[in-house]
Amino acid sequence: MYASLSPEAIKWGLPPYDRARIERWTSNPTNSIILIARLEETVVGHLQVFQFPFDRRKGVAELFIYIHQDFQNAGLGTAMMMRAIELAKDQGLHRFGLTVVADNHRAIKVYEKVGFKKEGTARDTFYGDDERYHDEVQMGITL
């Protein structure tokens, strides 16, 4: 899936999304929740939760989500986020946090829809394809 993402789909991401990186994410499921959406044998969505391995971050996790461009805007991202929240609650996790580029309006809409709140803004932290700096928003949800 990552190999076929369009430039638009990764516009607000942090490439490269090469095989070595994806394998590093997905090969060690300890402290992770990994959700895959498939259409038959084709992966069309990936959501991953990383739990911090420190006692002082007990139950605190970060997440990211990618939906293939041909499957965006059809409710899949929202459904995967809701499922991740459900699984995390079952596992007794305490909080999800994430960082999103302030201009990624669709992602922010989805995060707010499932209960995330904006917690703060880091200014000029993301250097975009447009060769300009963009703000990033910290968002979180207490589970």
Ligand X SMILES: CC(C)(COP(=O)(O)OP(=O)(O)OC[C@H]1O[C@@H](n2cnc3c(N)ncnc32)[C@H](O)[C@@H]1OP(=O)(O)O)[C@@H](O)C(=O)NCCC(=O)NCCS
Site residues for ligand X per CB under 6 A: 9, 12-13, 64-67, 72-78, 100, 104-107, 109-110, 113
Which residue is closest to ligand X by CB?
77
- Nearest distance from C-beta of residue 143 to ligand X, angstroms: 19
- Nearest distance from C-beta of residue 46 to ligand X, angstroms: 9
- Nearest distance from C-beta of residue 107 to ligand X, angstroms: 4
How far is Cα 137 from Cα 143, in angstroms, rounded to an integer?
19
Q: Which is nearer to ligand X, 93 or 137 (CB)?
A: 137
Length of the chain: 143
- Nearest distance from C-beta of residue 55 to ligand X, angstroms: 27
Q: Which is nearer to ligand X, 33 or 65 (CB)?
A: 65
- Going by DSSP bridges, is the β-strand pair 60-67/95-101 parallel, antiparallel, or unpaired? parallel
Q: Which is nearer to ligand X, 42 or 58 (CB)?
A: 42
Q: Would you say the C-alpha torsion 54, 112, 122, 142 has a positive or negative sign?
A: negative
Q: Which is nearer to ligand X, 58 or 106 (CB)?
A: 106
DSSP H/E element including 106: helix 105-113
Contacts (Cβ under 8 Å, ≥6 apart) of 101? 12, 126, 128, 134, 135, 136, 137
Contacts (Cβ under 8 Å, ≥6 apart) of 78? 110, 113, 114
